[in-house]
Amino acid sequence: MKKRKAVWGGRFKSGPTESLRAIGDSLRIDRRLAPFDIRASIAHARMLGKRRIIPKRDADAIVRELTRMFDDVLFGRRVITREDADAHEDVHSWIEHTLTERIGAAGKKVHTARSRNDQVATAFRLWIDDSLGDGLFKRLVPLVHALLRQAATSIDVVVPAYTHLQRGQPVSLAHHLLAYAEMFDRDARRLAACAVRNGRSPLGSGAATGVPHRIDRAATAKELGFAGPSANSMDAVSDRDFAAEFLFALSLTAVHLSRLAEDVCLWSSSEWNLLELGDSVSTGSSIMPQKRNPDGAELTRGKTGRVIGHLVGLLTTLKGLPMTYNRDLQEDKEAVFDAYDTVVMCLRVMTDTIGESRFRPEAAERLLKKGHLLATELADFLVAEKGVAFRDAHEIVGKLVRRLDDEKLDLSDVDETWLAKFDARFKGCAKWLDFRRAVDRRDHVGGTATRQVKKQLAAWKKRLK
């Protein structure tokens, strides 16, 4: 391993053991922070210059060179290599060293009035904020669009709504799909709230107590897009609430994806046969030549565990840590990066899966035939037109179903005449024995009536425009 110089080496007689370097080095992981740390360093250096904490000339040189580095990193002209990772312990020392190599002595002044503790907290917050817009929202929206597109063509497709995986009542397939749009919408708002609630800049908190210079924290906070500086330096350097919140928001998104994935697995089973997976979103078997597996959905469902695991990992790491910064906190980044990458990938996979598959209306009709799907309808008919108390109506229909089962019949096999013979109060129920009418009768906010589903769709289109 190459000899190198740590930014803290002064008092040490020998360098770290190989194992300590291996566990401590983080450039392979935190290089993703490079553009954000550079941006924060630019703001910091500009402020140092304005406040004459370092000479204006030095500040200008730093800002100029860092701006160049920012572009180099962003446009891939400068890539952090394996050699860099061997030679520097983290992205912060890599940036400082690179800067000093290029502009000489002035570079050694960039770390004035800050510490790695406030520096890393700042860069990491910037990364999370950035990951929302270009990463998560950009992936959430197409998934909702894919759901909306399928919904738009399936308003008239009536399927069973399931509770307990048992057929319950008829519902518009579009209504089912829009339920997922609600979940992902809550996810988007939850993620956005992370950014808002954590919008305080730690920069200037130093190692833990602030710095003995006349810094202008409001200025750096503003330049970096924060709502303002944090209120307490000790809290600022040891707070990882923002990372835990982000991991939780990702976990809940993953849970929602896992539920959609489960529905996809069921729908594409031979038993349901409701969803025909596109060739491009299913895979085969190494041994069974006929297989068409919903691997994308399965992997998405499986990866939920991983995202939840990262959340648990960070909470466990934080538990019981005394004030202020402890090196344990270094564990925050890999967990967040991997959870983010995982969720982004799953969003893409489920977007493709929903987008490139086809629902089979003919299968929908078959699914309605068993399950006494209009039983609730009959009970509500008794309530609405015969004045029977609901609890009594429920009991009457319950007995009817028992009789049908004994005779191996489904409610969809019999008509008003048959029913009236079973119980005279069923006279007049004919128009309640219709799937579409049952759907359209649920004509209130949130109900599955065609009119309501169209309203939901219109509202979604408006919001996503």
16 binds a copy of itself (CB under 8 A): yes
State which residue, 365 or 405, has the beta carbon closest to a copy of itself. Answer: 405
CB of 73 to a copy of itself, least distance (A): 21
Residue 312 interacts with a copy of itself (CB under 8 A)?
yes
Q: Does 447 bind a copy of itself (CB under 8 A)?
A: yes
The reply on whether position 108 binds a copy of itself by CB under 8 A is yes
How many angstroms separate the CA atoms of 185 and 187, rounded?
Answer: 5
44 assigned to active site: no
Binding part of the chain for a copy of itself, among 35-43, 70-78, 128-136, 178-186 by CB under 8 A, reads 178-186
Residues 201-240 that bind a copy of itself (CB under 8 A): 204-218, 229-239
In angstroms, the Cα distances linking 239 to 201, 236, 462 are 12, 5, 38
149 is an interface residue for a copy of itself by CB under 8 A: no
Q: Which of 47, 80, 140, 261 binds a copy of itself (CB under 8 A)?
A: 261
DSSP collapsed to 3 states, 77-136: CCCCCHHHHHHCCCHHHHHHHHHHHHHHHHHHHCCCCCCHHHHHHHHHHHHHHHHHHHHH
Task: Round to whole Å and give the CA distance between 80 and 31.
Answer: 7
- 394 binding a copy of itself? (CB under 8 A): yes
Q: Is 396 in the site for a copy of itself (CB under 8 A)?
A: yes
Lookup: tokens for 273: 């046969």
The secondary element (H helix, E strand) that includes residue 44 is: helix 34-50
Helices 173-197 & 138-152 angle (0-180, nearest 10): 160
Asked if 11 touches a copy of itself (CB under 8 A), the answer is yes
Contact positions with a copy of itself (CB under 8 A) in 47-76: 53
Q: What is the DSSP pairing of strand 166-172 with strand 228-229? A: unpaired
Q: Which of 304, 364, 429, 433 touches a copy of itself by CB under 8 A?
A: 304
The reply to whether 80 sits near a copy of itself by the rule CB under 8 A is no
Question: CA dihedral defined by 115, 116, 118, 121, rounded to 10 degrees?
Answer: 170
C-alpha–C-alpha distance, residues 226 and 122, integer Å: 10
**Smallest separation, CB 145 to a copy of itself (Å):** 15
Among 17, 75, 76, 83, binds a copy of itself (CB under 8 A): 17
| Conformation bin of residue 158: beta by default, left when phi > 0, alpha when psi is -120 to 50 | beta
Q: Is 2 in the site for a copy of itself (CB under 8 A)?
A: no
> Using the rule CB under 8 A, is 192 a contact of a copy of itself?
no
Q: Which is nearer to a copy of itself, 71 or 188 (CB)?
A: 188
Nearer to a copy of itself, 65 or 245 (CB): 245
Q: Which stretch binds a copy of itself (CB under 8 A): 29-37, 76-84, 123-131, 296-304?
A: 296-304
Going by their DSSP bridges, the two strands 166-172 and 158-163 should be labelled as antiparallel
Piece of 22-30, 38-46, 59-67, 72-80 that binds a copy of itself (CB under 8 A): 22-30
| Catalytic residue (choose from 172, 269, 282, 285) | 285
How far apart CA 418 and CA 251 sit, in angstroms, is 52
Considering only 75-83, 122-130, 200-208, 414-422, which stretch makes contact with a copy of itself by CB under 8 A? 200-208
Q: What gap in Å lies between CA 465 and CA 463, rounded to an integer?
A: 6
34 counts as binding a copy of itself under rule CB under 8 A: no
In the bound state with a copy of itself, the residue whose beta carbon lies nearer, of 286 and 407, is 286
Alpha carbon distance 104, 414 (integer Å): 90
Encoding tokens for residue 347?
A: 């969003």
Q: Are 203 and 120 in contact (CB under 8 A)?
A: no
Told to check if 462 binds a copy of itself by CB under 8 A, we report: no
Contact 332, 124 (CB under 8 A): yes
By beta-carbon proximity to a copy of itself, the closer residue of 41 and 268 is: 268
Residues 333-372 that bind a copy of itself (CB under 8 A): 334-335, 345-346, 348-349, 351-352, 356, 367, 370-372
In 3D space, the residue among 236, 231, 243, 235 whose CA is nearest the CA of residue 202 turns out to be 236
Q: Which of 164, 176, 270, 444 is catalytic?
A: 164
Closer of 71 and 279 to a copy of itself (Cβ): 279
- 97 included as an active-site residue: no
Residue with tokens 């089973």: 269
Could you say which of 38, 188, 294, 359 contacts a copy of itself (CB under 8 A)? 294
Taking the C-alpha atoms of residue 151 and residue 31, their distance in angstroms, rounded to an integer, is 42
The residues that are catalytic are 164, 285
